[in-house]
Amino acid sequence: MNNSSIPVIAIDGPSASGKGTVAQLVADKLGYHYLDSGALYRIVALAALKRHIPWDNETALAEMTTSLKIEFKAADIFLNEENVSEQVRTEQMSQGASQVAIHPRVRQTLTKLQHSFRKSPGLVADGRDMATVIFPDAKTKIFLTASAEVRADRRYKQLLNKGLAADHAAILKDLKDRDARDKQRTVAPLQQASDAHLLETSQLNIEQAVDKAMNFIAQSA
């Protein structure tokens, strides 16, 4: 079925920029479906860990990915019928996602799955290449970012609020390393689409960021 007429809001940006929270809230406001594309790569990283497949083994990762059964049910994520919502949200899986995402064959395998989320009445998709590669015909494209220091502060506080140990310096270094890896990969590097609105959130709270995103969407109507 040709679903190109179904509107897509594509929100890209670096790790810990807040794009996932903004995208989810925008989807709720619009009554649209939501795709957290980053979760797919976290799932691949987790599945590889469970099967003792190194994150740098592209061939084995690609073969494994074709056999995975991935489902999103409300706020829960299922891998082969196991609820892995908490497991995929760890810092380890965040790092793993960035490492498995550099492999072209893994990205190719996941592209068809991401396209399947485009359902009526519409989709809000967040990730690194939603506007540039997966949904280049998106009705509204937003590049949501913040400084590495601000993103590190947010991640640090988030971990502390969960009662987890956190090292601010290590988090900042990890974010900068991930930014470099995402921008420099040969396939679908992290970049702002030429027709995307820039949403800089360093000085904004979530509500303000959502309001700006909704204004961009209204402008595209």
- Confidence class for position 158, pLDDT limits 50, 70, 90: confident
Which tens digits make up the pLDDT trace of 76-99?
A: 899 999 999 999 988 899 889 989
CATH H superfamily, domain 8-220? P-loop containing nucleotide triphosphate hydrolases (3.40.50.300)
* CB contact at 8 A, 27 and 214: no
Which tens digits make up the pLDDT trace of 8-67?
A: 999 999 988 999 999 999 999 999 999 989 899 999 999 999 999 999 999 999 999 999
Average pLDDT, the chain: 92
pTM for the model stands at 0.86
Cα 32 to Cα 21: distance, rounded to the nearest angstrom: 14
Q: To the nearest whole percent, how much of the chain has pLDDT over 70?
A: 99
Peptide bond into 121 cis (omega under 30): yes
In this prediction, residue 44 carries a pLDDT of 97
Which tens digits make up the pLDDT trace of 51-69?
A: 999 999 999 999 999 999 9
- Look at 158 and 140; give whichever has higher pLDDT: 140
